Amino acid sequence: MSSAPSDCRFDVTRRKTFSQLLGSRSRKQKRRCSSELVPREAVVRLMKHHQNLGDLLLEVTGSGSERDGVDSDDHNAGTPARGSFIASVFREQALINDVPPGLLTARTAVEKIQQIEQLGLTPRHTVMLDADQRGKLVCLLQSLRELMSTGMLSRLQFREEIWKAKEVPMLEVVWHLQKENIVSLEELVTSNPDVTFAVRWLFDNLCLLCSEAEDQYQHQDIPRQILSDIVAELVGNGFKESNNLESDRKERQFSQVCFEVLNRMLLWLLDNLCKENETEGASVERATQFWLNVFDTALFHGTLSPDLLKQFFYHTLTQILTFNPVLEASDAIRMQGEWCFAKTKILLTTLYRKIFVLFSAEELIVHLRQVLETHEVNWQNVLSCASTLLVCQPPTQQLLKELLANLLTNSFENYELESIITAFLLVRQAAVEGPAVFISYSEWFKKSFGSANGYHGGSKKALIFLLKFLTDLVPFETVQYLKVHILHPPYVPSKYRALLLEYVSLAKTRLADLQASVEDMGLYEDLSTAHEAPKPQCQALQDVEKAVQIFETTGKIPASVMEASIFRRPYYLARFLPALLVPRALPDSLDSHMAFIDSLKRADKIPDTMYASYIHACNREKQQQLEGVSTFEAMDHGREPIEVLSAALEELRKVAIDPSKTDVVSAQIAVISGQLKTMIDDEDHCTAMDKPIQLDTVVDSLGPLEMEVRDLLLKSFCQTFLVVSSFNPPQRQGEWASLFVKMLCGHRRLLSAVLLRVLHLTCRQASSLSDVHVLGLAGFTLHIHILRISLSVESLQSAGKEEVSFVNHLNQSLVCRTGECSTFCLRFCTAAVAYAVCLSSSRCSSALDVVQQFVPPVFMQKLQYVIPRLIPKCRRDHDVVVEPIWINLVGLHLNWTAAAISLFKHHTFKELAEMKHFQLTFYDWLMFELEVQPHGDLLSDVDRQEYQHWACYQHYLPSPLAAGGCGGDLLTACRTIINSLMDFSKRAKVQSFEEFSCSRRPSFNRSSYENIICRLQEMVFDLESVRAKAPREDGHFLLDVFLDRRAKLELQTLSKQIEQQIELQLFTRILVALPPCVLFKTRIDGLKTTLECEEFFHFTNAELRNGYCKEFVLPFHIVSHFFRGLLNASVHCEKPSSAVDGILSNSKVRCPLLMLSATYWWARLEPVLCTQWKRSSDTPFPRELQTMLDSQLWASRLLVGKLESGPPCCPWVLGAFLYFTLQRGNSLKMLQTAMREICAENKEFQVSVLYLTLMHLVSSLLQPKETSDLTVPLKTCADMIMILEEQNQPWLDIFMVVNKDYKPHQILFSMISDVERKLLPIVFYSLMIILDPKLVSSVIKHSDFLFVAITLHSAMVKLFLDGENIIPVSDQPDLQNSNQPDPLELITKGRRFLLRVIPSCSGQIISQHNKLQAVCKDIDLELKASLDHQLQLCAGDGLYSEPTLL
C-alpha cells in the first residue's frame, strides 16, 4: 500500500482512497459469480506485508473528511464500516505483534502526531502548527475519534503514550485533543505523576504561545482561541472552592497545577512589565501585550462565573502589589514623583484598568487596604496602582479620603508607624495627579494637622509622634514637601513650640543642601518642583535609520514603529518623530526616507500640524540651499515638546467625543498634565486649589514657550468644546471639560496665564471673537466658576489686595456701554448660562439646587438686563417653555437671538430669576443703564427713552419689593434712582481716575446719567402732584436719602469724611437737577395754603455749611435753586408775596447761611428772581426781596462815595451787603469811613462787619494762594478792631464760639463751618501779635480779655496736640516767605504774649481766678504758675496798679 497524500482534501474524481477502492471492489464481487472471486486470504496476506498504520489513519479519515463528489448516503452508511475496518486492521496487527490493540492504536497515534509536528518549516520549539500540519492533524483526530467510538483507542493508554514520547505534543495539538474530546487538559496533566514537569511544560508552552501569537497572520484567531480555552480551564480549576476538591486527589492535583501555572505566568508578566532595559526589542513587549488579553472578560464568553473571575483578578492584583518588594518606604518617598499615571508604563496601566473592570471603587480600596495591612508590598506598583485607580475611577477620590482618615486615626490612636507612612505615601501620590484628581498636598496637610482639631491634637504624645515622623522623613524628602511643612506647619501649642522649631531648623538645613530656600520665596510665590527638561536622545536618530532600512527592505512600516506609536507614545512623539522629520531639501524622486514618512502619514501616525511644519521647513530649506543656510541648524529644538502637547490635545479631542470613556479621558488628561510638567517648571501639587491666583505676577514674566502653551491650551479647549458639542448636548458630554480645567489648576502659572488671556480676549478683543471662541470661552469660564477659582486683585476701597472670584472680576469688564459690548455680553452670557443649565440637568440631585451652583449670578443679571434691551419681543412676551435650549447654539451659523429668546423663556431661567441672589433689581438695572454711552448705543434716543419708560413704569414700578421692584411706590422708585445715581457717580470718579492713570480718556461724562435724571424728574413730578394732598409727614423724601446714606458712614476716619464730602457734592448735583419747588412742602389747611422748608434749612445748617461752602458762602447754583423754588412754590399760595416774606424772614433766624449767600450772589441772583416774579405774578416784588434789592443799591452808592444812611434791614444782612460790595470793588478801606460816619451807633452792624472780615481771614487761611498773602485781611481786621475800640464797643465775645455754652452772636456763628470755628483761636493770636501796642493796651482792659485769651490759647494748643492739620501747607518753596502762620510758632508767640500781659491783668486774675485755672490747668503749667504768682503778688500788695506796656 502506498503512502497517503500530503493533504486529505484532494480531488476524489481523479483518485480514490483505499476505502473507496475496497468498497467498489466489494460491490463488484457481489455482482460477479463465485467462480471469479479472488481468495480473501490472498488480500489479507498482501495487507499484512505492505500496510502503514499511521498513514492508514490519515487515509481512511481523509475519505470521511472529503465529501465532495461522494454520495452522501454511501458516506453515512460507510462511516461505521470504515471505523470497523480500521479497528479490524489494528486488531490483526496487534495479534501479529503480540501487543494489546488499544496500546498499538495509542502508540501509533502518538507517533503520527510527532511526525506531523516534525513536518513543515517551523522550528521544533514552537506551540503552533502551520496550515499543512494543521490539516493533517484534523484528519488524524477524526480517525482517532472513530477509533474511540469502536473502543479501539483507550484514553488512559493514549495519555500514557503521550508522556512516554520523546517530545511532548505542541500546545495547539493538546488544545485540539481537548477540543475534539479525545483527551482533556485535565486528564493529560493528572496522568503525569511529575507535577513539577507538568507545570513547567504548560508554563513554557504558554510563554511560547504569547511570543508566536502575532506571527500567525493567516489564522490570527487561533492563538486567541487557544489562550481563551486554556486560561478558562486554568482559572476554572485553579480557583475552585476547596470543599469541592476534598474527595478527589487528581482534581486537587490539577487545581494545584493550574494555580501554579497562573502564578508563574503572572510573575513572567510582571517581570516583563517591570524591566527597565528595553534593548530586548518589541518581541517581549508583544508577548506581554498578548497575555494581557487574559484579563479581557469578553475573552471567556461566559464560560467562567463572575465569582471565579473576581477571585482570579483579586489574586492577580495582590500579586502585582506584592511583586518583588525590594524598595523601602524611604525609597518610595524619594521616587514616587516618577510613578504617576503619566509616567507609568502603558502596559502596566492597561493591566490595572482591565482588572478594575470587574470591581467597584469601594471593593478595590478595601482590597488595597487589606494587602497593605497583611503583605510586604512593592511600593512602586502600589502607588502606580493608586494613581491609575484615581485617574480612571473618579469615585475613588472620596473613598481614598476615608481610607486616609482611617489610617491616620489608627496611627495616632495606636502610635503605629506603618499606617502613617502608608497614608502619607498615598496622599502624595494622589496629589501628584493634580487637582483634577485629588486635592493638593498642602491643602490636605493643613486640613489634617493645621488646627487643634487635627489628628495630632489629642495629646503631647501624639504631637511628638507626628514631629518625630516628619523628622525621620527629612533626609528623604523632596523640596516641595519640605516647603509645605515649613510654610504650613502643623498646629503646635505655644508651650511645645520648641519641638516644632527643631523640625523647621532641620528642614531648612535639608533645603539648603538641596540648593533651595524658603526665605527666598515671595509671600505669594507658588510652591514648585524643579523638573529638568529631558535631554535629546541620540538613540532616536539610530532608531530612525534602522526603521528606514527595514521599510526599504520590506516595504512595510516596521512593527516596532507601529507599537511605539501606541504603547510608547511619548517617546514616539517627542523623540522619534522629531528625529525623523528633520527638515531637508526634498529630492525630485521619492526616496526611501520620504516614502517611509508618507506611509506613516497615511496611517495617521504623524500629527497634521507636525507634518505641515515639516513640509514648510523642507520647502524653506530648498529655497535657502544656494545660500548655504540650513533650517535644521536654526531649528528651535525647544518646540519639540509643543508638538507632543499638540498631539496629546488632539487625542483628547478624539476620545472626548464618547462620554462613556471616562477612564480613557482621565488617562489622556493625565498624559497632558505630565507633558506640561516636562515643558514648564511649574508643577505644584502641594498648593491648595482654592488659593487666590496672582495675575499681576504673571503679566510680564511669561516666556515665548509659556505663551505658546497658553494659547494652545485655550485653543484646544475651544475646539474640543465645539467638536464635542456637535455630537452631544452638555448633559451628555462626560467630564472631560471639568477634568481639563481641574488639571490646569495643578499648573498655577499656566492657569494664571490662561485666565489672563481669557480676560484680555473678552475685554479687549470681544468684537473680533468668532462664535467658536465665544462658546469655548464661555464653557471654560463656567467650569472656572464651578471650581470657585478666585483672584487676588487690587482693592479700590482699601489699601492692599482683596479676593474676588474670577467670574465676578470678568463681569466687571463685561460692560454694556456700547452696542458692540452689549451684543458680546448677550452672546457670551447666553452661551455660559445655557451651558450651565444644560450641564446641571445631568446631575442626579435636585436640578434647581445644582443650577444655582453652576450658573454665575452676575451672568444671570446681565442677561436679564441685555435681552429685553436688545430684543423688544422679550419685554412683553412672558411665556414659559421647556424646550431644549442648546440646539440653537449648535451649527455653523449660530442664531444668538433665537438662543437668547429660548433661554429667556426657559422655565429654569424664570425660576432662577425669582431667586434673590439671581434677581436683577431696579437698582441693578439702573447701574447697568447708567453705563450706556448714548453715542455708541444700538438704540436711538427715541428707542432708548421708550425702553427706559417700559423698564421704570411697566416692569419695576409695579413689581413687588420681593422681586426687586418698587411695589407700586413712586417714593421707593425715586429713592432707588437717587441711590443709584450717587453710587454710579462715585464709581465713575474712581474709574475716571484709573483711566487717567492709564493714559486713557476718561468715560465719566459719556454715560446715560442725563437720561436717568430725566426719568427721576418725571417721577418726582408725578410724586409732587400727590404729595400736597397727602397727610402731613415728617422729613423730606429727597433729603432723607442723603441722611440715610450718611448714617451708614463712619466719619471717625479721614477717608470716610472725604467720602461724605463727595457724597454731599453728588447729592447736591442731583438736587439742583430736580424741580426747585421740591425743596418746599405745600400744606393746605382748610382754605389756607402755606409753605414749609424746615428740612432744607436743617440740611443746609448740618451738611452744606460744613461740606459745601466755598469762601464761607454756598455756591450760586444752590442759592439760585432755593430762591427759584421759593418763587415757584409761592404761586400755589393765596398771597405769594406773604409766603415769600415768611420763608425769608424765617431763614434769617433758622438758616442765616442762605441769606448770607444770597447777599454774596445778589448781583447774579437779582435779575433771575425779578424776571421769574414778573412772569408768575402781577403783584409787587415781595418785601424781603425788595429790602435786599434796596440794601444792594445802598452799598453800591456807598462804593461810589455817596454816604447815606442804610435802608431799614437786618443789621447783619446790611453789613453783609456792604462788605461784599466793597470787597468786589477792592475798596475795603472805605469800611472805616462807613463804620465811623454812618453806622457808628449800630453795634450789631459793626460786629457783623468784623465777623465778615474775620471770616475772610479764615478763608484765606484755609485756601492759601501763591499770588496773595494774609496782609490785606489781617489789616482789615485790625482796622475794624481799632474802630470798635475807639467807639468802646465790646467785640471779644465774637471769639467765644469755641465755648459751646456761650450764647451771644449765635446767628453769626451758625453761618460758619466747624472747621472755620476751630481756626478762630489762630485768627485771634494772628491779630494780637500784629496789633499796635497802644491798641493792645486798650484791648486787655476789657474785663473778659484774659479769660478769652487763655481759652483761645488752650483751644489752639489742643488743636495742635490732636494732630488736626487744618491749615493746608503748600509744596511751593516760594511760599516760605509768605505770611502763612506756622501753628507751632504761633502757639509759642501766643504763650509769650500771654505771659507778657498777665501782669497787666491783675484785676481780672483776682475776679476770675478759679475760672482761669480751670481753663489752663490741663494745657500749660507755665501759664498756671504765672497766674498763681500774679495772684500772690496782688494779695500781698492789697492794691495794684496796672503797668504800662509801652
State residue 535 phi and psi, 5-degree precision: -80, 150
Which DSSP symbol is given to 99?
S
Q: What is the C-alpha separation between 1344 and 434, in angstroms, rounded? A: 83
Handedness of CA 347, 351, 356, 357 (dihedral sign): positive
Nearest to 548 by CA among 603, 596, 611: 596
Extract the C-alpha cell encoding 45: 496476506
CA distance 1108 to 1102: 11
How many angstroms separate the CA atoms of 1353 and 1365, rounded? 16
**Res 1069: pLDDT:** 92
State the Cα–Cα distance between residues 955 and 959, nearest whole angstrom.
6
Bridge partners for 1092 per DSSP: 1081
Q: Which residue has the cell 462613556?
A: 660
Block means of pLDDT (10 residues each) for the chain, length 1446 residues? 38 44 45 46 51 55 38 42 58 63 72 76 69 80 75 74 78 85 82 84 88 62 86 86 59 86 90 65 80 84 83 91 87 86 87 90 91 90 91 87 91 90 92 84 88 86 91 88 85 87 88 67 34 44 80 84 71 80 81 88 84 82 57 42 87 86 83 83 56 62 81 91 87 87 85 89 86 90 87 58 83 88 93 90 65 90 94 81 77 80 89 91 94 91 93 93 91 93 83 46 62 92 72 71 81 69 89 90 78 90 83 90 92 89 91 92 93 88 92 87 79 88 80 71 79 84 61 84 83 69 66 83 87 86 84 84 62 47 81 85 78 72 79 61 42
The crossing angle, in degrees rounded to 10, of helices 417-432 and 441-449 is 140
> Considering the entire predicted model, what is its pTM?
0.68
**CA distances, 259 to each of 240, 252, 311 (Å):** 10, 10, 12
Dihedral (Cα; 488, 489, 494, 496), 10-degree rounding: 180
Residue 411, amino acid: S
The predicted pLDDT at position 537 comes to: 44
pLDDT of residue 979: 93
Residue-wise DSSP of 790-847? EEEEE-SSSSSEEEEEHHHHHHHH---SSHHHHHHHHHHHHHHHHHHHHHHTTSSS-H
| pLDDT confidence of residue 1269 | 63
DSSP letter assigned to residue 1085: E
Rg (CA), the chain: 52
Segments in 1240-1344 forming alpha helices (H):
1243-1262, 1271-1286, 1306-1309, 1314-1318, 1320-1328, 1333-1339
Instruction: Give ∠ CA 1116-1121-1126 in degrees, rounded to 5.
Output: 130
Q: Under a CB-based contact definition with an 8 Å cutoff, are residues 973 and 922 in contact?
A: yes
- Burial category of 468 from C-beta neighbours within 10 Å (exposed 0-12, middle 13-18, buried 19 and up): middle
DSSP code for 486: H
Q: Which residues contact 767 (CB under 8 A, 6 or more apart)?
A: 820, 824
